[in-house]
Chain A
Amino acid sequence: MPLLPVFLPTDVLLWLLVIAAVGYGIYCARRPHLAQPWSRVFRSPGAVVAGVLLGCYLLIGLADSLHFRARLEQASASGQAAYAPEVLSLLDVALARLRAGTERSYSAPLATRAFVREMVEQPDGTTRRGFPRLRQGGAHLEDESQWTEDIARRALLGLACGAALWLLLLWSIRPLMRRAPAVPWRAGLITVGVLLALSGPVVVLAGGYHVLGTDKVGQDVLLLSLKSVRTSLVIGTLTTLVILPFGITFGVVAGYFRGWVDDVIQYVYTTLNSIPGVLLIAAAVLMMQVYVDSHPDLFPTAAQRADLRLLFLCIILGVTSWTGLTRLLRGETLKLAELEYVQAAHAFGVSHGRVLSRHLVPNLMHIVVISVAIDFSTLVLTEAVLSYIGVGVDPTTVSFGTMINGARLEMSREPIVWWSLSAAFVFMFTLVLSANLLADAVRDAFDPRVRIGVA
């Protein structure tokens, strides 16, 4: 086998989550009362735009979640296959050119020369301080005066490819459009068109330049931005996996059984809530750090260590943030448990477990769906702040937080290095904004209360 698949824990969980989401989709499609609000979600143009953008992020993130180790060419003496120590993902392979083409330090977007002065050797053998040519950015240009022409040519080529792809897409989904006329296809197609118009030139230009420049150690900023997407998705989704069991169980049980059960659960979540969230997370992460440092034998490779830290961060975030959902569900269960149909179920001798699972939990699911959608963007933003303070993801993990942290002093440079921060800003803003827009649409579709006041 030429590849040795590596199953990082977060990869496995992320893919399981995707399978679960698909399963939930099929489950909903068969039940009109669930299919209806979801189809209402995708009748709002904002949600369709957000959905398209999130879909792109998801594709990037999932491509970055298939890890393997490549087989080395020379076979080892014992005849066993030897595998490279470096763990790569599908995305790394697709972006191999960006990964390989590191520079020495900063370089501006699309630049052909470095951003910082260095000693450059002149053709006559003397050295002088100047801006040396980049190793990769524009290295194919023999004369730098061709730069404008080359950029224009590549951009136009990219645009043409993007337009062709877009027309192909338009043509292939026509039957689908006729079947579902209520979906705002135009908004979706415009979004896809804009995305293709942007990514087409970027892809073609990335073949010869650093489209978004390079950072302090010469890594391509575009590569870093794309790699950050997975970290955000993992934090935003896997944390939910921790929140849901705690939140649903405790919330429903507290609201249903009341009495001492309610008291205990309320005590637990008031206690957890009263510890400032950042401090609790920081304390837990520090503890984990100490544990990892004192047990280096448990974590063989850096990738595994970083991945476990990411997973652990999700767990900590989950454990500290289930209280909000619990409180919501407890309140709602208190109300629902008083309704006639629950009383009727009791009168018929239906067991507690069955009342909970058949009558209460399904009627609370809209709150769960809304809170999952809202939590996603909050968690993505939290990750950046935590990584900035130094209690977030492992410093070797690429994330928006580590990107910002690495770039925070660049604004005070003269002339300023603006591209790392801007790239992190644009990618992160788009992700969070789409998540927020989708969450809004989900809330409007699922929450009966929202529609009241809007005349």
Chain B
Amino acid sequence: MFAYIVRRVLYAIPILIGVNLITFTLFFVVNTPDDMARMHLGTKRVTAEAISKWKLERGYDKPLLWNTTATGSAKLTSTIFFERSMRLFRFDFGAAEDGRDIAREIRGRMLPSFALALPVFLVGLAVNISFALMLAFFRATYLDTWGVVFCVAMMSVSTLFYIIGGQYLISKLWHLVPISGYARGPDALRFLVLPVIIGIVSGFGTSARLYRTLFLEEMSKDYVRTAKAKGLAERVVMFRHVLRNAMIPILTGVVVVLPALFFGSLITESFFGIPGLGSYTIDAIQAQDFAVVRAMVFIGSVLYILGLLATDLSYTLVDPRVRFQ
């Protein structure tokens, strides 16, 4: 198992290099260092000297991918790509355009993101599974039919409407919680209730319907028929047999998002003014701050790869039939 993990971690390195290459292509080939220099220095009366000075100061005077003037391994290392993206592997993200250290910013924003994403994930999972189990229990009745229609209707509403509607109804009309904002410490609870509810509601339709399908698939298996033939009550069959076995695809399916919980939810955070990683990213996108966007892309990819690894590991934990090769 240890060898397997090591192999998977090693496999992640080419993927991360690929991710960097893609973001690098997007950022530097279309928007060349010369363009960046002009954008920073302003368009008026920019001399070639000023541009090359700007590039030299920030290390943008080197070739993009392959340095023909250098010798040996420096051909590869003395380039903008290598210097910019290899730093990311050390989690050294440099400074944002306003001069603040990105790594510090990220450390400070991880907790609020997590505080929002974790309850959404856990409570959401519980709600969705219970609802799906109820529909599966009452399968092929009116309750089931309309339950599915309800799910489909829920997933047809844009997240934006859930947020706007929730803010209007709960905060403005009923004055239950503040519309947006954040506070550190236990005070955060007041600010987190509404985004958590909206996060759960907006993910409800898709997941509940998917879980219902998984439950129904499990219920059509032979061992369930055997259990029923033995004379076990429907309730026992549902909770002892179906629920447990259907948890395998459900759990392994959600493990992939676990690390990404730190990454937070882009839209919800920016709407509610929660100072997490999601709103940081959105702000960076809107301010066209490439350094931050690049750092966030990198972190997002690392978390996704961790999620894939966790998924594979979780298969062995919940399903003894799966073995590593």
Contact = CB atoms under 8 A, between A and B. Distances in A.
Contact of A286 (B35, B159, B168, B288): B288
A290 interface: yes
Interface string B110-130: 000000000000000000000
Chain B residues touching A, majority SS: helix
Given A271-B18, A275-B19, A275-B300, A421 B164 contact: yes
A384 to B, nearest CB: 5
A350 to B, nearest CB: 32
Contacts of A416: 168
B23 interface: yes
Contacts of A270: 15, 308
Contacts of B157: 425, 429, 432
B206 to A, nearest CB: 9
A381 B155 CA distance: 10
Interface in B1-50: 14-15, 18-19, 22-23, 26-27, 30-31, 35
Given A283-B27, A385-B159, A454-B139, A276 B172 contact: no
Given A404-B160, A436-B152, A453-B219, A275 B23 contact: yes
A292 B305 CA distance: 34
Contact of B160 (A279, A388, A391): A388
A282 B281 CA distance: 10
Interface in A26-82: none
Most buried by B among A389, A400, A453: A453
A280 B297 contact: yes
Contact of B296 (A279, A287, A408): A279
Contacts of A400: 158
Interface string B241-277: 0000000000000000000000100110010000000
Contacts of A390: 285-286
B213 interface: yes
Interface string A380-407: 0100110011110000000010001000
B291 to A, nearest CB: 12
Most buried by B among A275, A416, A450: A275
Given A291-B30, A389-B266, A411 B168 contact: yes
Most buried by B among A274, A294, A404: A274
A236 B14 CA distance: 33
Contact of A428 (B140, B158, B263): B158
B269 to A, nearest CB: 12
Contacts of B286: 389-390
A429 B159 CA distance: 11
A275 B308 CA distance: 13
B167 interface: yes
A307 B274 CA distance: 35
Interface in B204-231: 213, 215-220
B18 A267 contact: yes
B56 interface: no
A274 B270 CA distance: 22
A432 B156 contact: yes
B156 A279 contact: no
B19 A271 contact: yes
Nearest to B294: A283
A274 B296 CA distance: 12
Contact of A287 (B18, B30, B172, B219): B30
Contact of B152 (A283, A389, A437): A437
A429 B156 contact: yes
A274 B158 contact: no
A271 B263 contact: no
Most buried by A among B26, B167, B267: B26
Interface string B276-289: 00000110011010
A274 B19 contact: yes
Contacts of A267: 14-15, 18
Nearest to A286: B288
A440 B205 CA distance: 14
B217 A452 contact: yes
A367 interface: no
A383 to B, nearest CB: 9
Contact of A283 (B15, B215, B297, B305): B297
B228 to A, nearest CB: 12
B216 A454 contact: yes
Contact of B35 (A290, A385, A404, A450): A290
A389 B285 contact: yes
A298 interface: no
Interface in B158-172: 158-161, 164, 167-168, 172
B293 A455 contact: no
B182 interface: no
Contacts of A290: 30-31, 35
Given A291-B30, A411-B167, A453-B217, A274 B159 contact: no
Contacts of B285: 279, 282, 286, 389-391
A187 interface: no
Contacts of A411: 164, 167-168, 172
A449 B300 CA distance: 34
A275 B288 contact: no
Interface in A357-397: 377, 381, 384-385, 388-391
Nearest to B159: A385
A183 interface: no
Interface in B297-322: 297, 300-301, 304-305, 308
B27 A385 contact: no
B236 interface: no
A299 B220 CA distance: 58
Contact of B156 (A287, A421, A436): A436
20 contacts: A267-B14, A271-B19, A274-B304, A275-B19, A275-B22, A276-B301, A279-B300, A282-B293, A283-B293, A287-B26, A287-B27, A389-B267, A390-B285, A404-B158, A404-B164, A436-B156, A449-B217, A453-B213, A453-B218, A454-B140
Ranked nearest first, the 3 interchain pairs of A and B with the lowest CB-CB distance are A453-B216, A276-B300, A271-B18
